[in-house]
């Protein structure tokens, strides 16, 4: 594994938000290529796109976590979007200012990463640039596949760790995460106490803290939210 990718994967283990991922890609991992803007999103089963990470767009907040219907995003007259629609397999726009790659889950397209450069990329530098972006796409796709869950008859149900953080998931201690995993497995407080070496009252107390952090009221809701958000 290239050192840059190892560094990126390790950083992802700290659960950055999708906005932080977009910023880090542009200003750190792809800095040498003078990225002007960057955007990645999830392709839903109905062909709508959920915008996740963005960098360099003045209207980024207005588009953050917005789901764009298929007919709307396909009508956008922009070279990067038209490149996606063409399905030609080409990743560079004609002006060499945009590079578009797919994010795949089990070989199936689950989204796109679009990178715009400050200046057109010279032909001699295109392969190096493409390789750097392509290497980053796999860990991004894996990260999204863990953090975003599809429900059987719907599109995206919950966003990534942005919502975990908003819900307090990032504030859970190691002990609370162990208890939460036990809830997911259907274990009682007595079973968790015996397994983890805590008193039943301690498990009960920590369980209430988990409820507060996740903004839920019972074990069933806590377990469901933990699975949907990818906390455990």
CATH number of the domain bearing residue 123: 3.30.450.40
Residue 77 has pLDDT above 90, yes or no: yes
Q: Using CA atoms, how far apart are residues 171 and 49, in angstroms rounded to an integer?
A: 30
Strands (E), 64-189: 67-68, 98-105, 108-117
List the domain range (segments joined by +) for residue 187.
Answer: 167-229
Does 66 share its domain with 89?
yes
Count up the domains in the chain and report the number.
2
Q: Using CA atoms, how far apart are residues 105 and 111, in angstroms rounded to an integer?
A: 9
Does 157 share its domain with 171?
no
pLDDT in tens, 155-209: 333 344 444 444 444 467 878 888 998 998 899 999 999 999 989 999 999 999 8
Does 65 share its domain with 39?
yes
pLDDT in tens, 119-156: 999 999 999 999 999 999 999 998 887 765 443 333 33
Does 93 share its domain with 197?
no
Structural domain ending residue among the three candidates 104, 127, 161: 161
- Arithmetic mean of pLDDT, 35-49: 92
Q: Using CA atoms, how far apart are residues 33 and 99, in angstroms rounded to an integer?
A: 12
Residue 206 sits in a domain whose CATH number is 1.10.10.10
Q: Using CA atoms, how far apart are residues 139 and 123, in angstroms rounded to an integer?
A: 26
- Arithmetic mean of pLDDT, 59-63: 81
Does 174 share its domain with 137?
no
Find the DSSP H helices in 169-199: 174-184, 189-196
Q: How far is CA 180 from each of CA 13, 32, 35, 153, 211, rounded to the nearest angstrom?
A: 19, 42, 40, 27, 10
Burial annotation 134-169 (CB, 10 A radius, 16+ → b, else e):
eebbebbbebbbebbeeeeeebbebbbbbbbeebeb
Give the rounded distance of the alpha carbon of 140 from its chain centre: 7
**DSSP-derived 3-state class of residue 65:** coil
**DSSP-derived 3-state class of residue 44:** coil
Spatial strand order of the sheet with 67-68 comes to 67-68, 49-55, 35-43, 108-117, 98-105
Structural domain ending residue among the three candidates 117, 140, 161: 161
Residue 35's closest CA among 24, 23, 48, 26? 26
Does 123 share its domain with 220?
no
Provide the greatest CA pair distance for the chain: 66
State residue 214's pLDDT score. Answer: 83
Does 29 share its domain with 113?
yes
């Amino acid at each position: 594994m290239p050192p840059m990718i190892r560094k990126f994967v390790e950083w992802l283990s700290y659960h950055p938000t999708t906005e932080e991922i977009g910023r880090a890609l542009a200003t750190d991992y792809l800095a040498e290529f003078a990225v002007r803007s960057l955007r990645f999103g999830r392709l839903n089963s109905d062909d709508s796109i959920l915008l996740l990470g963005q960098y360099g767009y003045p209207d980024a907040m207005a588009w953050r976590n917005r789901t764009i219907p298929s007919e709307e995003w396909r009508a956008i007259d922009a070279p990067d979007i038209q490149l996606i629609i063409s399905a030609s397999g080409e990743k560079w726009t004609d002006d060499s200012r945009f590079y578009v790659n797919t994010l795949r889950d089990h070989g199936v397209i689950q989204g796109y990463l679009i990178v715009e450069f400050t200046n057109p990329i010279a032909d001699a530098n295109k392969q190096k640039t493409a390789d750097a972006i392509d290497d980053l796409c796999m860990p991004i796709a894996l990260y999204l596949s863990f953090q975003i869950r599809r429900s059987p008859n719907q599109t995206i149900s919950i966003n990534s760790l942005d919502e975990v953080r908003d819900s307090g998931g990032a504030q859970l201690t190691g002990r609370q995460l162990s208890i939460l995993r036990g809830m997911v497995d259907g274990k009682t407080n007595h079973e968790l106490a015996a397994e983890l070496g805590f008193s039943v009252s301690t498990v009960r107390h920590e369980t209430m803290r988990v409820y507060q952090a996740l903004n839920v009221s019972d074990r069933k809701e806590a377990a469901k939210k933990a699975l949907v958000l990818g906390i455990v």
